[in-house]
């Protein structure tokens, strides 16, 4: 067997916060128990195939900067095999339990669907062996319905039924291989399911078609006996100007309207939340209160750049508040933290992939432990309970139990005059949060 990451001689180990070793975890201790589960069970880290093994560093202004030894040679399938081998070496050395991929990440598309599917079958049979030998599992699979020119106007929302049919064929196969690899889930990200201008778009028809497309996927999932969780991944824009799966709230409305809600949860990506003008915290909280919190694409954007920069998560406020919501919602079941993130264009060495993931894993491990303390001390729960205390007294109770109408309430307001106001205490709560993030 070839070794693709010889710079990392042994699996990354936990050495504690005082370690100066850049190839060690300072906070992520997979076996350490937090609230009755190990850190590994809570965090369910996954490495994404597309950025980490297929990323080239190319951007709109410049070409490839990331050259990897596993991509050497000219035989496409040989490169696909080498890449898979390198990926599993990386997962093992890093010590993550899961991976995620798009169909096109693992096997290059051929000239016909049947040839493409044969290529996928070959790579999937190898992946199955690697999974068995390493114990690394598939967090979710997905289908790339956005890179090929045939999908320039979308897949399930394409104006052409021919393209719609082609897209179903791709998803059918992607579901089969995800099932074959015993994936815990399957993601639908509407890469080009949206529009650039309404001057050429029948929005109603496109939304109806998207729902049809997803319903067919639900039916096929049942047919093949795939038990993994389906997720929709919200994103407001990019590549299209307006995407239908804009944010958690619009996905929820769509799923309810088309009676699909029982079949889906959400895969919330931090960078997509901020592109939608929300915080990561908001998107997770909205999903959680509506029973839709499924999985997370753990990354971050850049406040000064208005696009999907997919950087590795390092912000302790983000990781703390994310883990706080996830723990409060009962923790992950099928989902996990997938690093849908890529190293910067100038981070050209393979070792940078390790630094990036180690830092991100440590940032979430710290977030987990801080969130545990916040929850144990009921920091926000106490403040929130006090702020809403009126709802547990006479008037509040009457309103919540639907015993009063505008008529009684207007009378009450007239009799009692101006309501007494209370401080929201935002600054105090922010200070307390800072005290916990040490
Ligand atoms: C792109 C998305 C994509 C999905 C999977 O912005 O994040 O990578 O996670 O198709
Ligand atoms: Ca993503
Ligand atoms: Ca992204």
The answer to whether 43 touches 337, Cβ cutoff 8 Å, is yes
CA atoms of 357 and 96, how far apart (whole Å): 10
Opening angle at CA 35, ends 31 and 40, nearest 5: 30
Distance 142 CA to ligand 1 centre (A): 9
Q: Give per-residue pLDDT as tens, 38-87.
A: 999 999 999 999 999 999 999 999 999 999 999 999 999 999 999 999 99
Atom of ligand 1 nearest to the CA of 235: 6
Of 42, 103, 105, 357, the catalytic one is 105
Opening angle at CA 267, ends 262 and 273, nearest 5: 120
| CA distances to 147, 260, 356 from 154, in Å | 10, 20, 33
CA atoms of 163 and 153, how far apart (whole Å): 9
H, E, C per residue of the chain: CCCCCCCCCCCCEECCCCCCCCCEECCCCCCCEECCEEHHHHHCEEEEHHHHHHCCCCECCECCCCCCHHHCCCCHHHHHHHHHHHHHHHHHHHCCCEEEEEHHHHCCCCCCHHHHHHHHHHHHHHHHHHHHHHCCEEEEEECCCCCCHHHCCCCCCCCCHHHHHHHHHHHHHHHHHHHHCCCCEEEECCCCCEECCHHHCCHHHHHHHHHHHHHHHHHHHHHHCCCCEEEECCCCCCCCCEECCCCHHHHHHHHHHCCCHHHEEEEEEHHHHHHCCCCHHHHHHHHHHCCCEEEEECCECCCCCCCCCCECCCCHHHHHHHHHHHHHCCCCCCCCEEECCCCCCCCCCHHHHHHHHHHHHHHHHHHHHHHHHHHHCCHHHHHHHHHCHHHHCHHHHHHHCCCCCHHHHHHHHHHHCCCCCCCCCHHHHHHHHHHHCC
Instruction: Verify whether ligand 1 is closer than 6 Å to residue 338 (CB atom).
Output: no
Instruction: Verify whether ligand 1 is closer than 6 Å to residue 275 (CB atom).
Output: no
Active site residue 105: yes
| CA distances to 79, 108, 114 from 121, in Å | 16, 12, 10
Residue 224 has, within 13 A of its CA and on its CB side, a CA count of: 18
CB atoms under 10 Å from CB of 271, counted, come to 24
Nearest to 177 by CA among 226, 234, 247: 226
Q: Give per-residue pLDDT as tens, 371-425.
A: 999 999 999 999 999 999 999 999 999 999 999 999 999 999 999 999 999 999 9
Instruction: Verify whether ligand 1 is closer than 6 Å to residue 89 (CB atom).
Output: no
Distance 301 CA to ligand 3 centre (A): 8
Instruction: Verify whether ligand 1 is closer than 6 Å to residue 297 (CB atom).
Output: yes
Helix axes 248-257, 280-289, angle to 10 degrees: 30
Distance 219 CA to ligand 2 centre (A): 25
Atom of ligand 1 nearest to the CA of 146: 10
Those residues whose beta carbon sits under 5 angstroms from the ion ligand 3 are: 271, 308, 310
Opening angle at CA 337, ends 336 and 340, nearest 5: 130
Write out the chain's pLDDT in tens, 438 residues.
899 999 999 999 999 999 999 999 999 999 999 999 999 999 999 999 999 999 999 999 999 999 999 999 999 999 999 999 999 999 999 999 999 999 999 999 999 999 999 999 999 999 999 999 999 999 999 999 999 999 999 999 999 999 999 999 999 999 999 999 999 999 999 999 999 999 999 999 999 999 999 999 999 999 999 999 999 999 999 999 999 999 999 999 999 999 999 999 999 999 999 999 999 999 999 999 999 999 999 999 999 998 999 999 999 999 999 999 999 999 999 999 999 999 999 999 999 999 999 999 999 999 999 999 999 999 999 999 999 999 999 999 999 999 999 999 999 999 999 999 999 999 999 999 999 998
CA atoms of 110 and 107, how far apart (whole Å): 9
Distance 213 CA to ligand 1 centre (A): 19
User: From the centroid of its chain, how far is CA 209?
Assistant: 24
């Amino acid at each position: 067997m070839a070794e693709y990451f010889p710079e990392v001689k042994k699996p990354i180990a936990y050495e504690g916060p005082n370690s100066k070793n850049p190839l060690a975890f300072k906070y992520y201790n997979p076996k350490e128990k937090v609230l009755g589960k190990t850190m590994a069970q809570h965090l369910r880290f996954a490495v994404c195939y597309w950025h980490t093994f297929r990323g080239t560093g190319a951007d709109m202004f410049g070409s490839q900067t990331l050259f990897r030894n596993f991509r050497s040679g000219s035989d496409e399938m040989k490169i696909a095999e080498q890449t898979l081998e390198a990926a599993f070496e990386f997962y093992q050395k890093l010590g993550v339990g899961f991976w995620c991929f798009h169909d096109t990440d693992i096997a290059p598309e051929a000239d016909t669907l049947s040839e493409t599917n044969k290529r996928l079958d070959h790579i999937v049979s190898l992946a199955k062996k690697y999974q068995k030998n390493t114990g690394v599992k598939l967090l979710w699979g997905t289908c790339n319905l956005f890179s090929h020119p045939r999908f320039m106007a979308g897949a399930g929302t394409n104006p052409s039924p021919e393209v719609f049919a082609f897209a179903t064929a791709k998803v059918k196969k992607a579901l089969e291989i995800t099932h074959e690899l015993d994936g815990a889930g399957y993601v639908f990200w509407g890469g080009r399911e949206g529009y650039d201008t309404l001057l050429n778009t029948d929005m109603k028809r496109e939304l109806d078609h998207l729902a049809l497309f997803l319903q067919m996927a639900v039916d096929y999932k049942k047919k093949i006996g795939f038990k993994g969780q389906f997720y929709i991944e919200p994103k407001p824009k990019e590549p299209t100007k307006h995407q239908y799966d804009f944010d958690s709230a619009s996905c929820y409305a769509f799923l309810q309207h088309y009676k699909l809600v029982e079949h889906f949860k959400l895969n919330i990506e931090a960078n997509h939340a901020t592109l939608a003008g929300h915080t990561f915290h908001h998107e997770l909280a909205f999903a959680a209160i509506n029973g839709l919190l499924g999985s997370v694409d753990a990354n971050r954007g850049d406040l000064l750049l208005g696009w999907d920069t997919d950087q590795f998560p390092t912000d302790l406020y983000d990781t703390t508040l994310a883990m706080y919501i996830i723990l409060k919602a009962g923790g992950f079941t099928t989902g996990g933290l997938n690093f849908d993130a890529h190293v910067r264009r100038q981070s050209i060495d393979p070792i940078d992939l390790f630094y990036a993931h180690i830092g991100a894993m440590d940032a979430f491990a710290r977030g987990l432990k801080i969130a545990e303390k916040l929850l144990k001390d009921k920091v926000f729960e106490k403040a929130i309970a006090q702020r809403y205390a009126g709802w547990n007294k006479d008037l509040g109770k009457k309103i919540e139990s639907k015993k009063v109408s505008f008529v009684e309430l207007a009378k009450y307001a007239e009799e009692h005059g101006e309501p007494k106001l209370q401080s929201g205490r935002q600054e105090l709560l922010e200070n307390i949060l800072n005290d916990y993030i040490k």
